[in-house]
Amino acid sequence: MPGDNGDGRGDLPVGLPSRSAYLFAFLSVVLAGMFGGIIGYGIVDVGSTGPAATAKLLGTVIGAGLGAIGVGVIAVLVLRAMAEWKRRPRS
């Protein structure tokens, strides 16, 4: 088969993390975004008096964004480390 590197995965480099590792990283970013949104909403809800729908929405969006970005950075670093550990030394 053209482009086959011997493990049946085509043109993919040998040192890449598994597909399940990528899926787990993606799901952790989504989950962190949801929890960040909940925390952001809760902080604004506790700190405000009266109906502050715009502030609650803004707190939810900012909290979700910060949570997802933070965990996304960690996920990328972990996936890179996994790829480096799996990489075979050049002969």
Find the DSSP H helices in the chain. 19-47, 53-86
Residues whose CB falls within 8 Å of the CB of residue 17, separated by 6 or more in sequence, listed in order: 79, 82, 83, 86
Q: What is the pLDDT of residues 41-87, one digit of tens each?
A: 999 999 888 788 999 999 999 999 999 999 999 999 999 988 888 66
C-alpha–C-alpha distance, residues 45 and 55, integer Å: 9
Nearest to 41 by CA among 54, 59, 27: 59
* Phi and psi torsions of 69, nearest 5°: -65, -45
What global pTM score does this model have?
0.75
**How many Å apart are CA 4 and CA 8, to the nearest integer?**
6
- What pLDDT, on a 0 to 100 scale, did the predictor assign at position 3? 47
